[in-house]
């Protein structure tokens, strides 16, 4: 049955300035969540949005905010709360690009940076984007005033709940006017989240574009059974092939712990791969440098904890590797959602050690996935190729993927990672500490 013409952003009641900005950025057709949520946001209705990561939630709530705030007023009129600093940074950056068309200013207020540097950003900013802890601190110290903020967005609410931010969110809401519009977005909506929505939403309109948890169709998902002793070597050889065989895309490696991120970071350093690490214990400036380097493809391999899976928004990740099986089904969905963005295809490989096999099968059962766990054989000799049984779904042999092309002995990276992050900066804080000190 032939489909009718696709909806364009022109059908929304947005100002000419915003329409022009969207056109210049190449945005023509809204995603399903945008198509449903933008009209509701513009009308002032409370919204409960459920959509997978990477479906365009930022513009779904961002365009109504930018349209409805008054750029001539210097007070904060809209607040966007997110669970992680990385995600807050990316949302702020996305909003700033469109907001500039209406002379609307955005303030990014997150932890990891001294308050005295951030307090200067608050005056004259109509939209505030931040994490619960820092926003609450600034409100308590009377450095941030939200009595005129009649627009509230709670994004990645499921993650905020998991991370224990719900009490901080409640306290922040007390600083806002009771007569306000609230838009709450979540990739998942388990019963405990739906119970909490009554605390923040009044007769919300539900926007749901995906039934339950699922992963995108254009992603080739495979799994490989490895021994704990061989797992790191298998990963390193996969990355070396990825980097050589795909010149245009990047690789994202996920670990469950910061300690493991550090261990792999050192291994990649030893192999002279163009990689960097990202975890929750990094200083804010260092985090932003790594994120920017990965977005700009100066870093081709990023090793990260799940904090990055909620914060990264790039469309060039061709291969996601789960070095650890994630602890939760939702985390698997979010990790997988880092690839196959902007209409591209992508690959996901999960390395499964025996102790994590039951957990991985539980994830597959929940998602209704049928992924056979292939085997990996490491022939003797560290320089010989990895031989792998053919897993179902076609990612056979594991080799070329969205890795990121030639690296040439680190490809000019300052010793590794983002150019200048270590060698060029000359900062001793960027040097690798001894193994036991990490």
C-alpha triplet 64, 188, 304: angle, nearest 5°: 95
Does this model's pTM top 0.75? My answer is no
Reference 37, options 190, 196, 149, 204; nearest CA is 204
Task: Note the pLDDT of residue 25.
Answer: 81
Q: Which CATH number fits domain 219-432: 3.30.1370.100, 3.40.50.300, 3.40.50.1820, 3.40.50.450?
A: 3.40.50.300
Please list the rounded mean pLDDT of every run of 10 residues in the chain (438 residues).
68 95 86 91 93 75 97 96 85 90 95 85 94 95 95 90 87 95 83 80 84 63 93 94 83 89 91 86 77 90 76 82 84 83 84 91 84 78 41 39 37 38 36 39
| Alpha-helical segments (H) within 100-190 | 115-118, 132-140, 157-162, 166-173
Task: Note the pLDDT of residue 136.
Answer: 96
Task: Note the pLDDT of residue 330.
Answer: 67
- Cβ-contact 416, 274 below 8 angstroms: yes
Task: Note the pLDDT of residue 184.
Answer: 94
- Strand, helix or coil for residue 210: coil
- Cβ-contact 135, 62 below 8 angstroms: no
* Spans of all domains in the chain: 9-208, 219-432
Could you tell me the CA-to-CA distances from 73 to 104, 197, 226, 234, 343 in Å, in that order? Answer: 10, 30, 59, 57, 39
Cα gap 151→374, rounded to integer Å: 50
Q: Which CATH number fits domain 9-208: 3.20.20.150, 3.60.10.10, 3.40.50.300, 1.25.60.10?
A: 3.40.50.300
Cα gap 313→242, rounded to integer Å: 21
- Cβ-contact 82, 91 below 8 angstroms: yes
Task: Note the pLDDT of residue 127.
Answer: 97
Q: Do 9-208 and 219-432 show the same overall fold?
A: yes
């Amino acid at each position: 049955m032939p489909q009718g013409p696709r909806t364009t952003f022109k059908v929304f009641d947005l100002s000419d300035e915003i329409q022009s900005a969207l056109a210049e950025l190449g945005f023509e057709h809204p995603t399903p969540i945008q198509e449903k949520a933008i009209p509701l946001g513009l009308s002032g209705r409370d919204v409960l949005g459920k959509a997978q990561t990477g479906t365009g939630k930022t513009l779904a709530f961002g365009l109504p905010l930018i349209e409805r705030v008054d750029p001539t007023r210097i007070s904060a009129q809209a607040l966007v709360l997110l669970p992680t600093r990385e995600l807050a940074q990316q949302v702020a950056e996305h909003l700033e690009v469109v907001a500039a068309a209406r002379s609307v200013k955005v303030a990014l207020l997150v932890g990891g940076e001294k308050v005295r540097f951030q307090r200067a950003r608050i005056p004259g900013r109509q939209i505030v984007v931040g994490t619960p802890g820092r926003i609450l601190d600034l409100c308590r110290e009377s450095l941030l005033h939200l009595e005129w903020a009649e627009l509230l967005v709670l994004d990645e609410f499921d993650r905020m709940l998991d991370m224990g931010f719900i009490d901080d969110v409640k306290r922040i809401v007390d600083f806002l006017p009771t007569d306000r519009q609230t838009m709450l977005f979540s990739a998942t909506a388990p019963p405990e989240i739906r119970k909490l929505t009554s605390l923040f939403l009044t007769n919300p309109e539900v926007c749901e574009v995906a039934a339950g948890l699922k992963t995108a169709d254009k992603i080739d998902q495979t799994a490989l059974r490895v021994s704990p002793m061989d797992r790191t070597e298998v990963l390193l050889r996969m990355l070396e092939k990825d980097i050589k065989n795909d010149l245009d895309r990047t690789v994202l490696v996920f670990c469950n712990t910061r300690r493991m991120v550090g261990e792999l970071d050192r291994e990649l350093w030893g192999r002279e791969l163009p990689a960097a690490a990202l975890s929750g214990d990094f200083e804010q400036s260092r985090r932003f440098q790594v994120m920017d380097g990965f977005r700009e493809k100066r870093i081709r391999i990023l090793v990260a904890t799940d904090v990055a899976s909620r914060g990264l928004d790039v469309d060039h990740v061709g291969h996601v590797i789960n070095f650890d099986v994630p602890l939760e089904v939702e985390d698997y969905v979010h990790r997988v959602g880092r690839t196959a963005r902007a209409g591209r295809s992508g690959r996901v490989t999960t390395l499964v050690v025996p102790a994590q096999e039951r957990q991985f099968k539980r994830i597959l059962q929940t998602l209704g996935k049928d992924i056979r766990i292939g085997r990996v054989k490491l022939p003797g000799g560290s320089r010989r190729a990895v031989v792998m049984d053919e897993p179902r779904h076609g990612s056979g042999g594991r080799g070329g993927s969205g890795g990121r092309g030639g690296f040439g002995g680190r490809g000019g990276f300052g010793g590794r990672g983002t150019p200048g992050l270590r060698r060029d900066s000359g900062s001793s804080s960027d040097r690798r500490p001894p193994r036991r000190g990490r």
